[in-house]
């Protein structure tokens, strides 16, 4: 053999090891794994190569249990999952930036070649982008007020105006969470001016 595992002698030795019955159970590793002995260089009766009935029953039971588990997982997922509403052609949408995850691009739906798939023409560059429905959100830009071509910041500003509407500016909102009053440590009292 010479230390190499890439030889017929090494493969034969591994087969012999897998077919050797374990001392405690009297069943070989091959029988535990595959339900039958592996065919090796030692002559044996053909019934040794048949899958045992007990192992076949265990396999069927495991497959049924896995199918049940898969059905349970699917039912749990379907309880909270929902389909997004389809988008209309010509509808203004916001696209999710694939690098940052922000919804900073604005475009118009041009085509819907497949379910949940839309071709969107970007307002900033005029390029068409094929996106999945989950990466598109309906925009709040008024239909009579198209977003100006140019930088994405201008489109972002138009969206923000569409959200606020026409009217007086909103007063600043108080912080959403209470905050503690911060004091300087007493041991630094001599150094604070």
- CB-count exposure of residue 155 (10 Å: 0-12, 13-18, 19+): buried
pLDDT at 87 over 70: yes
pLDDT value for 175: 64
pLDDT at 150 over 50: no
* Domain spanning 92-164, CATH architecture: Roll (2.30)
Contact 162, 141 (CB under 8 A): yes
Domain boundaries, the chain: 8-80, 92-164
pLDDT in tens, 127-149: 999 999 999 999 875 555 554 44
Q: How far apart are CA 24 and CA 8, in angstroms?
A: 30
- What are the backbone dihedrals phi and psi of residue 149, each rounded to the nearest 5 degrees, phi first? -70, 150
Question: What band does 180 get if pLDDT is binned at 50, 70 and 90?
Answer: confident
pLDDT in tens, 32-61: 788 887 877 777 777 777 777 877 787 788
Longest dimension (CA), the chain: 98
Radius of gyration of the CA atoms of the chain, in A: 34
Q: How far apart are CA 72 and CA 143, in angstroms?
A: 44
pLDDT value for 167: 58
**Averaged over 86-91, what is the pLDDT?**
94
pLDDT in tens, 103-116: 999 999 999 999 99
């Amino acid at each position: 053999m010479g230390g190499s595992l890439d030889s017929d002698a090494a493969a034969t030795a591994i087969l012999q090891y897998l077919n050797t019955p374990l001392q405690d159970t009297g069943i070989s590793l091959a029988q535990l794994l595959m339900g039958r002995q592996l065919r090796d260089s030692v002559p044996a009766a053909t019934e040794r190569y048949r899958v045992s009935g007990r192992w076949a029953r265990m396999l069927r039971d495991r497959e049924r249990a896995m199918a049940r588990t898969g059905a349970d997982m699917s039912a749990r997922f379907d309880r909270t999952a929902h389909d997004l509403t389809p988008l209309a052609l010509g509808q203004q949408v916001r696209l999710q930036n694939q690098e940052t995850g922000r919804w900073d691009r604005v475009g118009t739906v041009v085509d819907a070649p497949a379910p949940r798939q839309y071709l969107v023409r970007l307002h900033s560059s005029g390029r068409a982008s094929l996106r999945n429905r989950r990466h598109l959100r309906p925009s709040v830009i008024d239909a009579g007020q198209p977003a100006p071509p140019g930088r994405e910041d201008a489109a972002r500003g138009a969206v923000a105006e569409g959200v606020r509407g026409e009217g007086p500016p909103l007063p600043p909102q108080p912080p959403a969470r209470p905050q503690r009053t911060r004091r300087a440590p007493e041991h630094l009292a001599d150094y604070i001016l």
